A and B are shown apart, each in its own frame.
Chain A
Amino acid sequence: MASDAKIISAAGGSPEGADVRRRDFIYIATGAFGAVGAAAVVWPMIHQMNPSADVLALATTEVDISSIQPGQAIKTVWQSKPVFVRNLTQAEIDAAKAVDVSTLRDRETLEQRTQPGRLNWLITLGVCTHLGCVPLGAAEGENKGDFGGYFCPCHGSHYDTAGRIRRGPAPTNLVVPPVTFKSDTLVEIG
């Protein structure tokens, strides 16, 4: 290597600059230019797999809740995900309130999960926070799990009457979507 350096310096470069040649700069510049170009090409290739505009045009969903009796629930769809709209009975509200929040995996009260003054309307996504199955318990006669709310049959997550995770692998409570009460009987989700 020493002899190479001598040759280069003899060819006109300064002895100090023998290690950094003009060609090194060209290599780095070419590599950097290529990397930027590659990134510019790769990004559209990756981004094309993200949800398309029609999928993202997330219409809000309006639900008429007038016919849901206490103790009943319906399933509806918002952003292609199932949503549970549940009219809690007084006993279910009391059961949810009786739980010591500090013992929960995901500490939320029923008040935090419902709209002010409408404690009986529990509106959650019907998507188990474990791996995305639809929990049972919304339809008549389905297994509501050990805590009277929802039960996910895939991997055995039990949710209580406030849709909070109580037992099983799911890490968080059933997600509460943005909810607006347009009137006493009309709810907008989204």
Chain B
Amino acid sequence: MSFPWAQQYEPKTEFTRWLDSRLPLPRFVWNAVGPGYPVPRNINYFYNFGVLAGVALMVQIITGIILAMHYSAHVDTAFDSIQHIMRNVNEGWLFRFLHMNGASFFFIVVYIHIFRGLYYGSYKAPREVVWMLGVVILLLMMATAFMGYVLPWGQMSFWGAQVITSLFSAIPLVGESIRMWLVGGFAPDNATITRFFSLHYLLPFVILGVVILKVWALHIPGSTNPTGIEVQGPQDTLPFHPYFTAKDFFSLTIYLIFFAAVSFFLPNALGHPDNYIPANPLSTPAHIVPEWYLLPFYAILRAFTADFIISAKLWGVIAMFASIILLFFLPWLDSSRVKSASYRPIYRWFFWLLVIDVFILGWVGAMPAEEPWVRIGQAATAYYFAHFLIILPIVSMIETPRRQPNSIAEAVLGPEAVRARPASRPAEGGFGGAMPQPAE
């Protein structure tokens, strides 16, 4: 694993030598996030969002475990137990608001992380498995977030559960049986809330497991970088610690400022007032919308209004799942050998069009199912699929990429600097060697 010039772990004390030969945990940490993991020296701040996502996951797990100590998973008490947490439990309001907004911030970070990957071609060989594990995490996150949103048993909770579980009834023949199996009854009820609580507690740890696999897979080729060219030698990298630990802590500070600002001053801004009304199975809210992070997919679900061979409902469900499953095939849909959009003049435009398209889908998803939003949603859905299935394969064939730099070091330091230094240990310690050696 890692590059041959990575700094080797050398236990310094009697104890660490003793431990290293029995449980080499310090060595593992050294090689994973320490000086033993060389990272391309030119990665920009968009490369910090993976670490931020990891922090967001841990915030959710910790606040979630605390909330579970006070929450009561039963139709008669769930809604009241949330109010109990908000009003009676010491600092309960804090943990609930952190958990609520933490979910939104987790998705913000992950969506930026995904678009970073799309822009810099992080899904391409040899990192296909890293990308695919990321798509698995996205699916698990959506399932976890959905089930968590059901637990307070407000109006949006109940009707969200009703709508999402009804998706499965679109499957021919067995759909209705699957739906009843999922909710444990004819409609969402006590059996639904207890199983969703159980799974909502379980899935974050499954996500954590997939994250470990993903980091493992990532650390074999290492990160991509904004130039998209692979690391060639020690002059292209810096050790993870202290360079990128410091940078990650800086970005984490910025992230926590935003997270705290929203959690403390706008705690309900990203939620729906309807969810402070207890669930009522006989009255649907006038306007059901999912949480904001699922809106683009909700827009795709609603984009199908006419039957064509199969029912419009089944088309919507297929399209919604396909919009994510599609991402598994992205490494093979984009055949361009150039990774970074910085050197792909045509793809870069289509990347930004896709970003705009996803924002439009999110906006349409929040609107009622009326004209003109239905038409706009249909056009945006069509474009979403066209981007991956038509535009991307064609662009990657016809595009003439810009000339890429010869190496990361050349891109960062200029060709003169690379030529001036011997190839053996050039540029160690950063520009002009003025930076201190990595701490040990």
Contacts and interface: CB of A to CB of B under 8 A. Distances in A.
A55 interface: yes
Interface in B141-181: 159, 162-163, 165-167, 169-170, 180-181
A135 B374 CA distance: 19
A70 interface: no
B212 to A, nearest CB: 26
Contacts of A154: 159, 163, 284, 288, 369
Interface in B300-324: 302, 304-305, 307, 311-314, 316
Contacts of B286: 136, 153
Interface stretch (B98-106, B116-124, B186-194, B266-274): B186-194
Contact of A133 (B159, B167, B312): B159
A80 interface: yes
B189 A80 contact: yes
Contact of A49 (B195, B283, B313, B369): B195
A154 B163 CA distance: 9
B368 A153 contact: yes
B288 A51 contact: no
A152 B304 CA distance: 16
Contacts of B14: none
Contacts of A46: 181
A153 B287 contact: yes
Interface string B176-209: 0000111011110101000100000000000000
A149 to B, nearest CB: 16
A169 B189 contact: no
A168 interface: yes
A50 B184 contact: yes
Interface in A155-182: 155-156, 168-171
Given A132-B162, A153-B284, A171 B180 contact: no
Nearest to B374: A156
Given A133-B288, A134-B283, A171-B307, A51 B184 contact: yes
Contacts of A133: 159, 162-163, 284, 288
B370 interface: yes
Contacts of B312: 169, 171
A105 B361 CA distance: 28
Contacts of B195: 49
Contacts of A132: 162-163, 165-166, 169, 187
A55 B186 contact: yes
A131 B311 contact: no
A50 B177 CA distance: 9
Contacts of A82: 281-282
Contacts of B302: 155, 169
B160 to A, nearest CB: 10
A131 B184 contact: no
Contacts, number: 99
Contacts of B180: 50-51
B191 A51 contact: yes
B369 A156 contact: yes
A107 interface: no
Nearest to A79: B186
A54 to B, nearest CB: 10
A66 interface: no
A77 interface: yes
Interface string A38-65: 0000000010011110010000000000
Interface in B231-245: none
Contacts of A55: 184-186, 189, 191
B166 to A, nearest CB: 4
A51 B369 contact: no
B282 A168 contact: no
Given A131-B313, A155-B302, A156-B370, A105 B307 contact: yes
A129 B167 CA distance: 11
Contacts of A80: 185-187, 189, 281
Contacts of A129: 313
Given A50-B180, A133-B288, A156-B369, A169 B304 contact: yes
A169 B182 contact: no
A50 B185 CA distance: 7
Nearest to B167: A131
A52 B368 CA distance: 36
Nearest to B186: A79
B369 A155 contact: yes
Contacts of A136: 284, 286
A135 B285 CA distance: 10
A82 to B, nearest CB: 5
A132 B370 CA distance: 19
Given A80-B186, A134-B284, 5 more contacts: A133-B162, A136-B286, A168-B305, A169-B312, A171-B314
What 6 A-B pairs come out closest when comparing CB atoms? A156-B369, A171-B311, A132-B166, A134-B284, A131-B166, A133-B284
22 contacts: A50-B181, A50-B184, A51-B184, A52-B184, A52-B191, A55-B184, A55-B185, A55-B186, A55-B191, A77-B282, A79-B186, A80-B185, A80-B189, A132-B187, A133-B288, A134-B282, A136-B284, A155-B369, A156-B368, A156-B369, A169-B304, A169-B313
